Amino acid sequence: MLAEMARQDQLANDLANASTPGYKADRVSQRSFGDLMLSNSTDGSVVGPLGAGSAIDKQVTDVRPQALRATGQPLDLAVEGDGWFGVQTKQGVRYTRNGSFSADAQGKLVDQLGNAVLGVGGKPVAVTEGTIDSTKVALFNLRNPLKQGDSNFTGQAGGQATGTVRSGSLEGSGVDPARAMIDLMASMRTLEATQRAITTIDTTLQQTSSQVGTLPG
């Protein structure tokens, strides 16, 4: 049940970001928690294994590039191919594929949280008359990306990114809503079946204890 609850949290988060530009979906895999070897209590012969349930094995983020959609907004940027935008946050440099940017009061390109978008050489990107020079926006090659929230990632940046910046476009979300809904319903059915099994076991134990207490002698 704990494994399915964790899986449902992941799926619900994906569904909530089905329309978030540049969002990267997660995938959760499960493993057997362990097997119990059953044996015949009379002669000790092996009956076979009994599964002790499942546990979350690992959670992997699918960082593959998604299709781009045109918005016509000059400050909307998308990475065509491989590469990540860099933003300067209070916690340090973070990386994102969400190019829904805007201009701050100082005329600098910022993300939705007001973090400055990094340009070539680590300099801020200037916004002039509502437009920017997309060649001035830095792209980073990121290894081992790890989610940090708000569409931001950490990782080892190094090497030249092979992608290009496209102005007036945004990368689509990596979530397939239909698949996520099907997975969520399957997880709910598994959770319900497990709950019924626990209820059955609890009822059986109650009946056993009450009947043993009424036996004569």
Q: What residue segments make up the domains of the chain, in order of their start?
A: 2-18+26-61+175-198, 68-171
| pTM score, whole prediction | 0.76
- How big is the chain, counted in residues? 217
Q: In which element (H, E) is residue 200 found? A: helix 177-213
Q: Which structure tokens are listed for 25? A: 């979906």
pLDDT of residue 214: 67
Among 117, 183, 108, smallest CA distance to 152 is for: 117
Residue (of 17, 121, 130, 33) closest to 73 by Cα position? 130
Q: How far is CA 181 from CA 39, 54, 167, 190, in A?
A: 41, 22, 32, 14
pLDDT of residue 34: 60
Could you read off the pLDDT of 115-166 as tens digits, one per residue? 999 999 889 999 999 999 999 999 999 999 999 988 999 999 987 788 999 9
Cβ count within 10 A of residue 108: 18
Q: Which of 29, 55, 16 is nearest to 149 (CA)?
A: 16
Listed residue (123, 148, 149, 146) closest to 136, CA to CA: 123
Dihedral angle sign, alpha carbons of residues 13, 5, 181, 58 = positive
Distances (CA, A) of 36 to 30, 52, 198: 18, 7, 18
Q: What is the pLDDT of residue 38?
A: 59
Q: What is the Cα–Cα distance from 210 to 204, expressed in whole angstroms?
A: 10
CA distances from 89 to 14, 41, 187 (A): 24, 63, 36
Question: Which residues of the chain carry a pLDDT beneath 50?
Answer: none
> How many CA atoms within 13 Å lie on the side-chain side of 173?
15
* pLDDT of the residue at 141: 94
Q: What is the DSSP letter of 114?
A: S
Mean pLDDT over the full length of the chain: 87
pLDDT at residue 49, as a whole number:
66
